[in-house]
Amino acid sequence: MFRTPAHGLPVLALTVPLLAGSVQGPVRLREKDGRFRASLKDCVAILEPIEAPVPAAGPSKPLVIRTVGKEFHPRVSIATPGTDVTFPNLDHILHNVFSVTQGNRFDTGQYRPGDAPRVKVANPGLVKLYCNVHHQMNAFLWVVSTPFAQVLDGRSGVRFDRVPAGTYRLRLWHPEAGDRTWTVAVGDGPTQGAWELEVSLPALEPHKNKFGRDYAPPADDRNY
Ligand SMILES: [Cu+2]
């Protein structure tokens, strides 16, 4: 860029280009029987700076998690701290969304078809979302302050571009595998890797309702 100092002659202001690279490579999800799952649906990759010039990301545009057919859609999402999350109810029955995750507790109360309660997520971490009416409804929201985070639905692995050079923690997570981390050094150019998670957890984690009690037997509301 050019600046014009007081004497009127343009001076070239030199800026040192920031080294940047990429992190890329396949991710595999190993089943209990040793085979690999065909899809990385619901898998999350997060690149957290340990020592790297990455400013914390501010609130992102509002996130929408719908209740459809007694399920949350999407089941797994990512937001930065301070982001609004709305929960439109597209069913014809009452739903609720609550979290008892420390640092991001909330309870929307029961809400009707067409309603869309809104909450603001505050602190980084994994937020587990449940419905107090329907035991089987669960979703996960990763609150992260790094701009380098992605849900791997429809992908075969990780790819982060324009990553400033430095040291990072690569965190991979899946609802049925929990998370694993690796330290990754990023320089100028691609950093290649190959990463694996192992399925070890049930598809639906045992959990209580928002009062910390067992769920009541299912109500007859099949016509959602
Ligand atoms: Cu529900």
Distance CA(132)–CA(109), nearest Å, equals: 9
Q: What is the pLDDT of residues 168-194, one digit of tens each?
A: 999 999 999 999 999 999 999 999 999
> What is the model's pTM?
0.88
Distance CA(67)–CA(116), nearest Å, equals: 10
Query: 64 C-alpha to center of ligand 1: Å?
Result: 16
Query: 209 C-alpha to center of ligand 1: Å?
Result: 11
Query: 194 C-alpha to center of ligand 1: Å?
Result: 38
Q: What is the pLDDT of residues 34-68, one digit of tens each?
A: 999 999 999 999 999 999 999 899 888 999 999 99
Query: 67 C-alpha to center of ligand 1: Å?
Result: 7
Q: What is the pLDDT of residues 61-98, one digit of tens each?
A: 999 999 999 999 999 999 999 999 999 999 999 999 99
Closest CA to 81 of 47, 120, 34, 117: 120
Structural domains for the chain: 19-54+147-212 (2.60.40.10), 57-145 (2.60.40.420)
- What is the average pLDDT value for the chain, to the nearest integer? 91
Query: 70 C-alpha to center of ligand 1: Å?
Result: 6
Closest CA to 52 of 15, 17, 20, 16: 20
Pairing of strands 106-107, 166-174: unpaired
Residue 1 confidence class, pLDDT cut points 50, 70, 90? very low
Distance CA(48)–CA(41), nearest Å, equals: 21
Residues 6+ apart with CB under 8 A from 182: 169, 170, 193, 195
Distance CA(157)–CA(164), nearest Å, equals: 20
Query: 137 C-alpha to center of ligand 1: Å?
Result: 6
Q: Which residues have CB less than 5 Å away from ligand 1 (the ion)? A: 95, 131, 133-134, 137
Q: Count the helices and strands in the chain (H runs, E runs).
A: 0, 20
Is residue 223 scored above 80 in pLDDT? no
Token match 């459809």: residue? 68
pLDDT number for residue 18: 73
Query: 77 C-alpha to center of ligand 1: Å?
Result: 18
Q: What is the pLDDT of residues 125-135, one digit of tens each?
A: 999 999 999 99
